[in-house]
Amino acid sequence: MVKTQAEKGQIFRGLHEREGAFIIPNPWDAGSARLLEHLGFEALATTSAGYAFTTGRRDNSVGREEMMTHVAAVAGATDLPVSADLGNAFGDEPRVVAETFRLVMAAGAVGASVEDATGRDDEPIYDLSLAVERVGAAVEAVRRLDFPFTVTARCENYLVGREDIKGTLARLQAYQAAGADVLYAPGITTVEDIRAVVSSVDRPVNLLLGIAGVKLTLGDASRLGVKRVSVGSALCRTAYGAMLRAGREMKDHGTFGFAGEAISFKDISAIFPE
């Protein structure tokens, strides 16, 4: 039975309320979303970088209308709840953030994230007061719905080279006060920093894993009090890495051993609907 958006929203919120951490993997298109659903995952999150790579572009180069089409394609391909990676929500002003959240809700998502990175080298992080207004605008835009839409507020300090745990905690606490349902500081990797984030807020915390050299497991994250684990563009980059290795094998050696690692045509066809 196909689930309604409201049912998906309730399921997604429930995942954040139960004991332990869960993985929310990041497909980059409709096909990868169906593969992850086939594997038994309970929810999915889009990846702005992963989708941009599929179009031959870098992250933050996809416009809002195109991104909404992508989110709709992923959400429509699966019966799982889908949360959308919206970057900075395609604009600085809170009113733009609010409109973006209304659009992504209409595209079928039941959650979305808003980050405090500006995308500008000279001023990579929004002033705190504006960042808080932006989170508040996202929250207000979806609170009139008849189902829970989960707003994730992201502090991007660590991803722009500002490894300031005190400043990061202050921002996450301010985003919590603005109404965010989930808090997220991508780039934190040490047990000490993760503990600091979890203990400083009373909302579910998302942790980015799938990072080279970071050996934390889902069990480790759960024991640290993390509620949700995502992997960003790592799955897309893993798939593209396999393709590049296959391409190099063909070009440099004229061999085709990579085909032994490929899923069979029959097996992958059985996963996808007719």
Q: What is the pLDDT of residues 5-54, one digit of tens each?
A: 999 999 999 999 999 999 999 999 999 999 999 999 999 999 999 999 99
Q: What is the pLDDT of residues 3-12, one digit of tens each?
A: 999 999 999 9
Lookup: tokens for 157: 């300090």
pLDDT tens, residue by residue, 206-263? 999 999 999 999 999 999 999 999 999 999 999 999 999 999 999 999 999 999 999 9
Using pLDDT thresholds of 50, 70 and 90, give the confidence band for residue 172: very high
pLDDT score of 161 more than 80 = yes
Contact yes or no for 58/20 (Cβ under 8 A): no
pLDDT > 80? residue 193: yes
Q: Which CATH number fits domain 5-232: 3.50.50.60, 3.40.50.2300, 3.40.640.10, 3.20.20.60?
A: 3.20.20.60
At 2, the amino acid letter reads: V
Q: Where are the domains of the chain?
A: 5-232
pLDDT greater than 90 at residue 147: yes
In this prediction, residue 144 has a pLDDT band, given cuts at 50, 70 and 90, of confident
At residue 254, the pLDDT reads: 98
